[in-house]
């Protein structure tokens, strides 16, 4: 493997693309915009692995795939890995309705980035603690991964991701947050330097 090896990120999510441009800038990567099929599973590690292996069949190059779920404590973890299904059916307004009258509004995003080089899958976990707002708040942005940005407040903040400035979103990562893209980038740079 050479330093010029290209890593392909297969996704159609504009927010994930913006995040990759921020976190993976020291890596030779490119975006292949495509919506990968998502298997029905509650296990984000399984979903991410399945998707990265499908991605490899498309591009035939080392690639990454990222999957994310939201766990809400008061709802026994719902919607977990079924975020897209929840947003398509009950939307963020439905999630807020389920949370009406609930004092415990703790939640967390859990994410898994999978890298596949054609031989082996490597996985990197991320976690972002926070709470749910009581209403939809904030502005539309091409940085958002999903509509959950309008109701998710990162740990240590009383505003949603959609209300935060770019600088605030960057600084929030020091609070109860592990980013799977950063974990992958550190590992990948180390792997390249040892070859």
pLDDT tens-digit series, residues 2-35: 445 899 999 988 888 888 988 898 898 999 999 8
Higher confidence at residue 194 or residue 191? Answer: 191
Residues 6+ apart with CB under 8 A from 178: 125, 126, 127, 128
Q: Please state whether the predicted TM-score (pTM) of the whole model is above 0.85.
A: yes
Determine phi and psi for 97, rounding to 5 degrees. -65, -45
Q: What is the pLDDT at residue 175?
A: 63
Catalytic residue among 67, 73, 142, 179: 67
Residue 174, pLDDT > 90, answer no
Q: Sorting pLDDT into bands at 50, 70 and 90, what band is 143?
A: confident
Domains, the chain, in order of start with CATH, read: 7-193 (3.90.950.10)
Q: Which residue, chain included where needed, has tokens 């890593």?
A: 7
Determine phi and psi for 17, rounding to 5 degrees. -65, -45
Catalytic residue check, 67: yes
Q: Sorting pLDDT into bands at 50, 70 and 90, what band is 168?
A: confident
């Amino acid at each position: 493997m050479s330093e010029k090896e290209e890593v392909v990120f297969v996704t159609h999510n504009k927010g994930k693309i913006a995040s990759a441009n921020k976190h993976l800038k020291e890596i030779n990567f490119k975006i292949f915009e495509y919506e990968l099929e998502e298997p029905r599973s509650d296990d984000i590690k399984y979903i991410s692995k399945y998707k990265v292996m499908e991605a490899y069949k498309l591009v035939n190059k080392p690639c990454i795939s990222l999957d994310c779920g939201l766990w809400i404590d008061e709802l026994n973890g719902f919607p977990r890995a079924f975020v897209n299904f929840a947003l398509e059916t009950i939307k963020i307004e439905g999630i807020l309705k389920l949370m009406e009258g609930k004092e415990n509004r703790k939640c967390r995003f859990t994410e898994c980035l999978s890298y596949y080089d054609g031989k082996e899958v490597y996985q990197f976990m991320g976690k972002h603690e926070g709470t749910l707002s009581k209403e939809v708040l904030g502005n539309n942005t091409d940085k958002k991964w999903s509509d959950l940005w309008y109701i998710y407040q990162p740990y240590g903040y009383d505003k949603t991701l959609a209300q935060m400035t770019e600088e605030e979103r960057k600084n929030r990562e020091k609070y109860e947050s592990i980013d799977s893209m950063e974990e992958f980038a550190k590992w990948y740079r180390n792997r390249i330097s040892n070859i």
